[in-house]
């Protein structure tokens, strides 16, 4: 969608409306981050959306809403220093939020010692905080890897289809061999029998055995995704394929291949 060209304006509008699927949104976000022209057009589109929102009928605030809000910010003023907390999931923000949270955890510990609070209670809270931060760190790293994959010039964009008869099962994948990074977004998948799963395969160009790249199950709409499966780096792929396997996974693909797509020759 974005290899060398700009994002189509229709697609930018859908992105601004959050009407794209996750994989498409990630691709657009990565492109917009690096393309001033598309960023400008996206800004114009966001401005259009603001104008549409302006036409919303005005309603009075619920009783007490103002007081509830002021009480909330008053409570934070008394208990916390100013910290930067993102309610979104933009990757750079996630990377930066972990450190203020660690500092907050450390501050909690010092306060507990100084004031003689119940140490065991705070300890449990700190454990929970540390666990949460560890999870955030993993998520942050994961998101960073996804963004790196989507923005890498060497990443190969592969479309996997079974045919042209709608609504045909289809999948779109982005694969970066040098990092073993892969994202796949599938749609219109047929439901599976109990005990079965779809399995994604990386088919090496050197003729080696296909490498399993993740099990996935479609939702009720037939959509599914595989994000950053655990696969080895440095495997130049000839193609990607999807088979139906037992839900515990398989070491080798079971025919037939229900979805397949060859990697572009120019890729890694």
CA distance 232 to 258: 23
Residues numbered 80-119 forming contacts with other proteins, rule: CB under 8 A: 82-90, 92-93
* 14 counts as binding other proteins under rule CB under 8 A: yes
Q: Do 221 and 121 contact (CB within 8 A), yes or no? A: no
To other proteins, the closest distance from the beta carbon of 162 in angstroms equals 18
Two structure tokens written together for 260? 């397949």
CA distance 109 to 43: 44
Two structure tokens written together for 23? 């994989």
CA distance 244 to 258: 7
68 vs 124, beta carbon nearer other proteins:
68
CA distance 255 to 244: 8
* 53 counts as binding other proteins under rule CB under 8 A: yes
Q: Do 240 and 203 contact (CB within 8 A), yes or no? A: yes
Judged by CB under 8 A, the number of residues near other proteins is 57
Which of 59, 79, 164, 251 lies at the binding interface for other proteins (CB under 8 A)? 59
To other proteins, the closest distance from the beta carbon of 31 in angstroms equals 13
77 vs 178, beta carbon nearer other proteins:
77
To other proteins, the closest distance from the beta carbon of 260 in angstroms equals 23
* 190 counts as binding other proteins under rule CB under 8 A: no
**How far does Cα 39 stand from its chain's mean position?**
20
Two structure tokens written together for 16? 């601004």
Interaction site with other proteins (CB under 8 A): 9-11, 13-14, 17-21, 25, 29, 39-40, 42-62, 65-66, 68-70, 72-74, 76-77, 82-90, 92-93, 187
């Amino acid at each position: 969608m974005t290899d060398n060209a700009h994002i189509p304006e229709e697609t930018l509008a859908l992105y601004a409306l959050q009407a794209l699927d996750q994989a498409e949104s990630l691709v657009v976000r990565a492109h917009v981050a690096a393309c001033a022209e598309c960023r400008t057009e996206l800004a114009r589109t966001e401005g259009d959306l603001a104008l549409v929102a302006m036409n919303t009928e005005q309603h009075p605030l619920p009783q007490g809403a103002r007081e509830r809000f002021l009480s909330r910010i008053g409570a934070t003023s008394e208990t916390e220093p100013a910290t930067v907390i993102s309610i979104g999931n933009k990757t750079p923000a996630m990377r930066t939020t972990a450190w203020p949270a660690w500092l907050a955890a450390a501050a909690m510990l010092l306060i507990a010692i100084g004031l003689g609070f119940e140490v065991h209670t705070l300890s449990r809270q700190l454990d929970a905080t540390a666990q949460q931060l560890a999870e955030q760190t993993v998520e942050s790293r994961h998101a960073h890897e996804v963004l790196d994959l989507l923005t890498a010039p060497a990443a190969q964009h592969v479309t996997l289809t079974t045919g042209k008869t709608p609504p045909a099962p289809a999948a779109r994948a982005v694969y970066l061999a040098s990092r073993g990074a892969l994202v796949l977004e599938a749609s219109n998948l047929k439901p599976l029998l109990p005990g079965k799963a779809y399995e994604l395969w990386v088919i090496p160009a050197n003729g080696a055995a296909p490498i399993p790249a993740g099990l996935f199950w479609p939702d009720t709409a037939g959509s599914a995704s595989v994000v950053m499966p655990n696969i080895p780096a440095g495997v130049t792929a000839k193609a990607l394929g999807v088979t139906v396997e037992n839900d515990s996974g398989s070491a080798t693909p079971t025919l037939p291949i229900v979805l397949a797509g060859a990697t572009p020759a120019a890729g890694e």
